[in-house]
Amino acid sequence: MTFHAFLIKYAEIAIKGKNRYVFEDALVKQIRLALGKISDGFQVNKEPGRIYVYCPEEYDYEETVAALGRVFGIVYLCPVMIFEDQGFDQTAKDIVSYMQAVHPGFSQSFKVFTRRAKKSYPIPSMDFSAKIGEILLTAFPQASVDVHQPELNLSIEIREKIYVYSQNITGAGGLPTGTNGKAMLLLSGGIDSPVAGYMIAKRGVVIEAVYFHAPPYTSERAKQKVVDLAKELALYTGPIRLYVVNFTDIQLAIYDHCPHDELTIIMRRYMMKIAEYLAKKDRCLGLITGESLGQVASQTIQSLAVTNEVCSLPVFRPVIGFDKEEIVRRARRIGTFDTSILPFEDCCTIFVAKHPVTKPDLRTIQRSEKKLEGIVEELFQKAIAETEVIIAE
Ligand code: ATP
Ligand code: MG
């Protein structure tokens, strides 16, 4: 038995007043994009207060559920079986066969809820529910009716045809992509930044990304790993424009002219500056990093303050308060973890000092950076001019 449609349930969007239509349209668009990759036979219909996805005759159920499960804005998806309306007796038989197929040997408590969209249907909703309830009790003698806290809600929508559903598959939640502006993710090959990008994207934000590499100190494989991570994120967010910035010359200049215990913090300030430059060019309204307070020397509160000082855009750090295990758990759930732990060096690990400053002082850092004046500006321009753009999808 195959399902004919999915009812898409969305909560947060529904409460957004007049904006509701904007959000619903964005959700419909994202659902179409997600399913379009599987088949062009899906039909996505917006109706008052609900969205239905009608399936082609043949489709891969698991793949479809997985694709819908990655669309931000969906709270639940309900697989629906649709029967022709051939009178009550046949409908009752169809519903029993639905239950036998979907919940074989059903023995729990249940409630039938009927919604009569077709007002000309001869049986009122309450009567319809009661009659179906009785028939199900006969068909499933172990089952019982509980109208207050049923273990199973069986929903029936009477339309031109009869729609039956009872399963709620948890969706990704959040808000549909494209409803909340755009931000630039600093995407490294680590565990944290993909999770950070996911969390902001989940709030409806379109994501672009920037990766700093340092050839020949970092390998092509390290870069490919970041491209792969961007592709994994793109399954949720839609295509991601990924900037790959060659950071070698800037890093070498810092290495040659600045105190080595300040390398990381100065380098991070330059990363943020370049990221912000690219962000502004593309009208991104914020930056995103995977920083987590106290995780490493460059993520003490003093270091974050010094890093932040070079930016005028807001910097979103959604994993700031998470322990590593919490970030790992999310990375596994999102599906980026296995790629993140591939053992390719990232550009920070090569130029790190043995004892980096953990409580940098802004004025000291600024004094050190003075030594780069007359050198770094040109390197900055060159890095930007030579930036490679990859569309990850
Ligand atoms: P991650 O797991 O995301 O790599 P991390 O714990 O390794 O984070 P850091 O290396 O200190 O932490 O980097 C902190 C943040 O700075 C990263 O989460 C990321 O947003 C950004 N970042 C670090 N290195 C790079 C890089 N090479 N390219 C782009 N962004 C980077
Ligand atoms: Mg890292």
Neighbours of 161 (CB within 10 A): 15
Ligand 2 centroid to 246 CA: how many Å? 16
Listed residues: CB within 5 A of ion ligand 2: 188, 190
pLDDT over 70 (residue 14):
no
| Cα–Cα distance, 59 to 79 (Å, whole number) | 13
pLDDT tens readout for residues 17-41: 777 888 899 999 999 999 999 999 9
Ligand 1 atom closest to the Cα of residue 296 is 11
CA 47 to centroid of ligand 2, rounded, Å = 45
For the chain, list the domains and their CATH numbers.
Answer: 5-170 (3.30.2130.30), 182-392 (3.40.50.620)
b/e per residue 31-67 (b: at least 16 CB within 10 A):
beebbeebeeebebeeeeeebbbebeeeeeeeebeeb
From atom 4 of ligand 1, which residue's Cα is the shortest distance away?
A: 190
- Range name among 92-106, 287-301, 345-359, 366-380 with the lowest pLDDT average: 345-359
Q: Which ligand is nearest to the CA of 291?
A: 1
Ligand 1, atom nearest to 186 Cα = 30
Rounded to the nearest integer, the mean pLDDT of the chain is 94
Distance CA 240, CA 208 (A): 5
Counting residues of the chain whose pLDDT is more than 70, the rounded percentage is 97
Answer whether residue 13 shows pLDDT above 90.
Answer: no
Res 59 pLDDT > 80: yes
Asked if 178 contacts 324 with a C-beta cutoff of 8 angstroms, the reply is no
| Gyration radius (Cα) of the chain, Å | 27
Position in ligand 1 atom list of the atom nearest CA 191: 2
* Amino acid, res. 327: I
Looking at residue 328, what is its pLDDT? 98
Ligand closest to 341 (CA) is 1
247-271 per-position pLDDT tens digit:
999 999 999 999 999 999 999 999 9
Q: How confident is the model at residue 182 (pLDDT cuts 50, 70, 90)?
A: very high
What is the whole-number distance in angstroms between the Cα of residue 50 and the centre of ligand 2? 42
Tokens 């672009």 map to which residue? 208
